[in-house]
Amino acid sequence: MNPFQINESKDTSFSPVSTEEVPPRPPSLPKKPPPKICGSNYPLSIVFIVVNEFCERFSYYGMKAVLTLYFLYFLHWNEDTSTSVYHAFNSLCYFTPILGAAIADSWLGKFKTIIYLSLVYVLGHMIKSLGALPILGGHMVHTVLSLVGLSLIALGTGGIKPCVAAFGGDQFEQNHEEERTRYFSAFYLSINAGSLISMFITPMLRGGVQCFGEDCYALAFGVPGLLMVIALVVFAMGSKMYKKTPPEGNVVTQVVKCIWFAISNRFKNRSGNITKRQHWLDWAAEKYPRQLIMDVKALTRVLFLYIPLPMFWALLEQQGSRWTLQATKMNRNLGFIVLQPEQMQVLNPLLVLIFIPLFDFVIYRLVSKCGINFSSLRKMTVGMILACLAFAVVAVVDIKINEMDLPQTSPQEIFLQVLNLADDEVKVRVLEDENNSLLAVSIKSFQKMPHYSKLHLKTKKQNFHFHLKYHNLSFYTEHSVEERNWYSLVIREDGKSISSIMVKDAENITTNGMTAVRFINTLHKEVNVSLGTDISLSIGEDYGVSAYRTVETGEYPVVHCKTEDDDFSLNLGLLDFGASYLFVITNSTSLGLQAWKMESILTNKLSIVWQLPQYVLVTAGEVMFSVTGLEFSYSQAPSSMKSVLLAAWLLTIGVGNFIVFAVAQFSGLVQWAEFVLFSCLLLVVCLIFSIMGYCYVPINPEDIQEPADKQILHIQEDMINLEIKNTKF
């Protein structure tokens, strides 16, 4: 069809003949302008969009802040599995925007896509919160509900991510560019505000509230879910005010089809008789307009620079996983406040708000005055180097933590400590089957042992013989042990002789930096110990041993205890961060009822403040890398390709998370070595990126734009020899 043909309506071509005069049609009423905010040029509808974004970001970041600890302490996964699933979820959140953009641009439009996928989002939060209720099913039910909920959340948050900001921009008239720019500033401020507040509040909901006798993960997930419901309701309330543009086709799809056609067309025409073309994308000229091909050429030049970028995101995204796990092993008491481990993540958005103006108005200007050409690609390279340094600091901090931590058990190894609760010194020898001595110690009455002793086994499970010498009398006993466990041999008085019991200790009992306590009752009556409103222990008579219970850190000067005929109190003193304590309840004729205290696992002495340098370095790197990278990408791509660039940028974040997933799952390295590995990998990638940047020649996107009235030419050389086969796309 001729695009310049004038289409006349049938009413014009065939006018009815009538003697009566046809009354003129009333003029169409002008379209009512959308309501504005206080007489300004800002549409009232953007208020609903900004509030929606604040609530949605609160919902997403609040849920994600406690996710790693939920995997570790509620689902009881190990650190590697928790990290892997966390980053698999993150990766999915950055792959689904492609799907959301395709649905919005090609099918439903932005408004309906946001509404429908927000419903999916809310459903995911509901299922995720149900999966955090201890009373609902067992471990398998919790795991299935969690994974289903996270999948729906990833689809929801990723699907609406490319739609909400663009939908807000659609509300403005073309001549209100300044107002649109300010709207985007308010929009991104709401993102930072939502993430900042949620990262501080949801850890308090988790650790500060007890549900069913433990941390309240259901509440920590439920409140973000409620915020997502509010986000959906607020967005729907503005429905009648929105300007809703119909779907116009997805440019990402056009780019992919153009690239695919060029590749397949070149492959079909690989004969030596056909003249080569200047660029491989020129092979799409038979089907696609020249301007699109030129835009895609400019796009591919930028996308080539994106290849090394995922490695940077692999490091940056570990703040919510590995760094949070590191914080659980540190002393979080700052004197004026006790932080939850995941609250350290608040530093990132807070420092971003500080660093962006600091770099833009101070650092970059000082560098420029020094005559240094600090180009965008050089800024990105420096950002990578800062992230490398951050992970070097993380590795050093982790090594310091390990120096204070318990040693790790290996196959065919156990750790043993001896507790002498008799009234005099006892000499202990640990014998193997062949009667050769593995350990010989002399322990005074109620002596505090400095550490566990490592013993090697011949098999996974083995019997040890113990020779106990007490008051020149010898006693022999036998106990069975299994590899990779920690044990306490408790020696007790039994009339004029002694006996012993073997108690298995838990290696990782101080969860989330809390204090673990255990009691041995030497009385002849059962004792009930109350450690708080929801925490009580019942310890059997005659050297009964309680299970470990985790309690809040702090002073416990008066702990109420009860027997069948007596009430009394014990002074447990200070229960410090991450420590494990054993209390032996005794009845001395001179001192009365008291608790002998021994620290089995030493307190976390390294302050969480030592994480501050790594957050400063990685956030400075993020500002130099991320903000500059997006700015550079937009400056080098045609306006028609900016949405494709954003999609590709999000994909690099998704790939970065997948790298962490793979390393955590398959590397098998100790934690500090894994940090060093990531630092070295990024250093190598940084070197490659700097070489790529050195070879890159910047362009002005306006130079590749053709005038609107210029005829679009197609390549017509050797069309005779060209072999084009019918292919459906």
Q: Check pLDDT > 60 for residue 719.
A: no
pLDDT at 17 over 60: no
CB atoms within 10 A of CB 182: 13
Residues of the chain with CATH 1.20.1250.20: 42-249, 309-405+605-702
Q: What are phi and psi of 119, to 5 degrees?
A: -65, -40
Look at residue 452 in the predicted model and tell me its pLDDT: 86
If one looks up domain 42-249 in CATH, what number appears?
1.20.1250.20
Q: What is the pLDDT of residue 187?
A: 84
For residues 219-248, give the mean pLDDT.
92
383-423, pLDDT tens digit by residue?
999 999 999 999 999 999 888 777 777 888 999 999 999 98
- Using one digit for the tens of pLDDT, what is the confidence trace for 67-92? 999 999 899 899 999 999 999 999 99
Report which residue type is found at 388: C
Contact 104, 110 (CB under 8 A): yes
Read off the pLDDT of each residue in 361-371 and give the average, rounded to a whole number.
90
Instruction: Tell me what pLDDT residue 16 has.
Output: 42
Residue with tokens 């501080």: 200
Closest CA to 479 of 451, 504, 509, 508: 504
Q: What is the mean pLDDT of residues 134-142?
A: 91
pLDDT band at 114 (very low <50, low <70, confident <90, very high): very high
The CATH number of the domain covering residues in 513-603: 2.60.40.2630
Average pLDDT over residues 554-569: 91
DSSP one-letter code for 553? S
Which residues neighbour 540 within 8 Å (Cβ) at sequence distance 6 or greater? 521, 526
Stretch 226-254: mean pLDDT, rounded? 90
H or E segment to which residue 503 belongs: strand 497-505
CATH topology of domain 309-405+605-702: Growth Hormone; Chain: A; (1.20.1250)
Q: What are phi and psi of 185, to 5 degrees?
A: -65, -45
Tokens of 355: 């660093």
Looking at the chain, the domain(s) classified CATH 2.60.40.2630 span 513-603
Percent of the chain with pLDDT over 70: 90
Higher pLDDT, 210 or 58: 58
- Output the pLDDT for position 508: 58
* Helix, strand, coil percentages in the chain from 3-state DSSP, rounded to 5: 50, 15, 30
What's the pLDDT tens digit per position in 570-613? 999 988 887 889 999 998 877 788 999 988 877 778 899 999 99
> Among residues 31, 29, 36, which one has the least CA distance to residue 176?
36
Pairing of strands 527-530, 573-575: unpaired
Residue listed under structure tokens 């089957």? 433
Is residue 253's pLDDT more than 60? yes
Which residues belong to CATH 2.60.40.10 in the chain? 409-507
Task: Kindly tell me if the per-residue pLDDT of 343 is higher than 90.
Answer: yes
The pLDDT tens digits for 445-458 are 999 887 888 998 98
pLDDT band, very low/low/confident/very high, at 13 (cuts 50, 70, 90): very low
Q: What are phi and psi for residue 336, nearest 5 degrees?
A: -90, -15
- pLDDT of 15 reads 39
Instruction: Determine the pLDDT at residue 717.
Output: 40
Answer whether residue 24 shows pLDDT above 60.
no
| Pairwise CA distance, residues 686 & 377, whole Å | 11
CATH number listed for the domain at residues 409-507: 2.60.40.10
Gap between the Cα atoms of 337 and 203, Å rounded: 14
